[in-house]
Structure formats: C-alpha cells, structure tokens
Amino acid sequence: MNIQAPAIRTVEEFLRWNEGREGRYEFIRGRITGMMTGGTRQHAQLMLQLALLLKSALPGEFVVTAADYAIRTPLGVRYPDVLVEPSGSSSGNSLASDRAILVAEILSPSSLATDFGEKAEEYTALDSLQHYLVLAQDEPRVWLWSRGEDGVFGKPEMTAGREETVEMKGLGITLALAELYRDIA
C-alpha cells in the first residue's frame, strides 16, 4: 500500500509526518509505504524475548529498542523489530538511529522476501552495522549476517534447534536459542 503525501520528500519530513500517526509506515525510495499490522502472538513474544535477552546480555553502553524506533537506511527509513545502538549515539527524543549495531527482523509470511532481500541489502550497507539477525517465529531458527574482520558482510549463517547458540562477535555476546524461544512454538 502506498500513501499519497506529495509534500514529503526527505527522511526528516517523513519522520515528522509519521510521529504519533495511527498505522505503521516506512519511507523507502521517496515513497511512504504501509507496514503490516496485527502480527501473531508468537511474533510479539519473540520480539519481546529478543529485546529482553539483549538488554540483559549487553553492557550499559548499548541501547535496545523495539518496533517503534526507526533506522535510517540508504533508501529511507525502516522500523525493525529490534534495534541495538551505542548509548549516546542518539538523543532520547530522536526519531531514528544513524548508528545501529544490530538490526533484527522476525519473519512472517508477508515479509519473507523483503527481510531476506531488500532489507538485508539496506541494513548491511550501513557502516555502523555489525549484525543483521532474522528469526523464524514458528521454530527455533535464525539467520545471522555478520560483518567480517575485512569489513564485509558474508552470506547469512543459519542456526536451528533449541540446543544451539548464535554468537554475535560484534556485540561480544552469544544467545541461546533455548532462551530466545522459551515458551514459543
């Protein structure tokens, strides 16, 4: 769904327009697009569980946000399910991050192609990003893109099974899928 708002041409104009607005929108390639609303309970649980695990695992020099906080990408503005940025990189009333270190998306049938396609390209093009994490909501399975020591993102690594862990070296943490998917699926 595209929303007609011809006066909005920049990321800053979009962020001001979108603030407090009903519904969910992103700004991609100069166009306002509607986002999916009404996700499943598993999606909501997984998003909260990931945010809580990251918040408890990361030192205070990081800020963890979920769903309503945007990230500026090379193509516009996205609202990932979970985002981690350095503390102090944005003010408390900032509407979007410029320095995300981790971006996470939870798959749904309607977002599969976008999460693995254009979002992966947009997010991994960010200079600050160390990891892009995509999570299945119906089974313990994640895909992790990580920036290598050469500064380049490789292909995603898939990890599946409750007994597995996913290491995010750029954040210095390892998450257990058993904890991440506790009480889910």
Tell me the per-residue pLDDT of 23-36, one tens digit each, with 9 for 90 and over.
788 888 888 887 76
Residue 79 and residue 65 in contact, taking contact as beta carbons nearer than 8 Å = no
Q: Where are the domains of the chain?
A: 39-180
Residue 75 and residue 122 in contact, taking contact as beta carbons nearer than 8 Å = yes
Is 90 exceeded by the pLDDT of residue 177? yes
pTM (two decimals)? 0.89
- Taken in order 18, 22, 26, 27, the sign of the CA dihedral is negative
Average pLDDT, integer, range 1-11: 67
Is 90 exceeded by the pLDDT of residue 94? no
Tell me the per-residue pLDDT of 134-160, one tens digit each, with 9 for 90 and over.
999 999 999 999 999 999 999 999 999
CATH of domain 39-180: 3.90.1570.10
pLDDT band (50, 70, 90) for residue 4: low
Tell me which of 52-61, 106-115, 126-135, 175-184 is least confident. Answer: 106-115
DSSP string spanning 54-113?
Answer: HHHHS-TTEEEEESSSEEEETTEEE--SEEEEETTSS-TT-SEES--SEEEEE--TTTHH
User: Which residues are bridge partners to 82 per DSSP?
Assistant: 66, 104
